[in-house]
Amino acid sequence: MSDTGNRLYSEDEAEAILQLASSLSPTGGMIDRERLLATAAELGITIEAVEQAEKQIVRQKREAMIGAEFDAIQRREFNTHLISYLIINIFLLGMNLATGIREVWFVYPLLGWGIGLAFHAVAALNRSSGMYQDSREKFVRSRSSQVSEENRELPELARTSEDKTQLVIGIHTGSMKRRQRD
């Protein structure tokens, strides 16, 4: 056991130490709500502050999941656009070759559509572009308000590990209906 005396830690250091110690504990980093509240009380943190932090964490996780959903949708839509572009332009090349190579006309739709595809790639895949950021923020706001309207008791769902599983499933499927208990 090391002698640390009466050393003072910054909040960041204390948080990092407690997180690491929690992950190394036999419980595997899991803590029930009662213990969380007791630990917070020992640290002089009010129940209201803990509840506010819980709500914020749930909101951040929900927004991260919605953001991941947006990213998946964007990739899927771009891939569909790319596949359509390739199939149609290969077909147009075949038509151009079948009708005679004197006039090479298939490059015009290839280039025109290619410009549109390039803009779609920037909007859908370049996370640092303004178009991407604007679309993502709008999507997250829209989905967050949908989820909030479906169930206003969202922060209360994360009380038990079973409820956390239901919360994740509900967010993923868009259904935030609370499971009826016996």
Rounded CA separation 22/35 (Å):
12
Q: Collapsing DSSP states into helix, strand and coil, what is residue 26?
A: coil
Whole-number pLDDT of residue 82: 97
**Joined tokens for residue 40:** 């917070």
**Joined tokens for residue 94:** 């075949």
Q: Report whether 139 contacts 43 (CB < 8 A).
A: no
- Region of residue 115 (phi > 0: left; psi between -120 and 50: alpha; otherwise: beta): alpha
Whole-number pLDDT of residue 151: 54
Residue 41, CA atoms < 13 Å, CB-side half-sphere: 7
Whole-number pLDDT of residue 83: 98
Query: Which positions of the chain have pLDDT values less than 70?
Result: 1-5, 28-29, 147-182
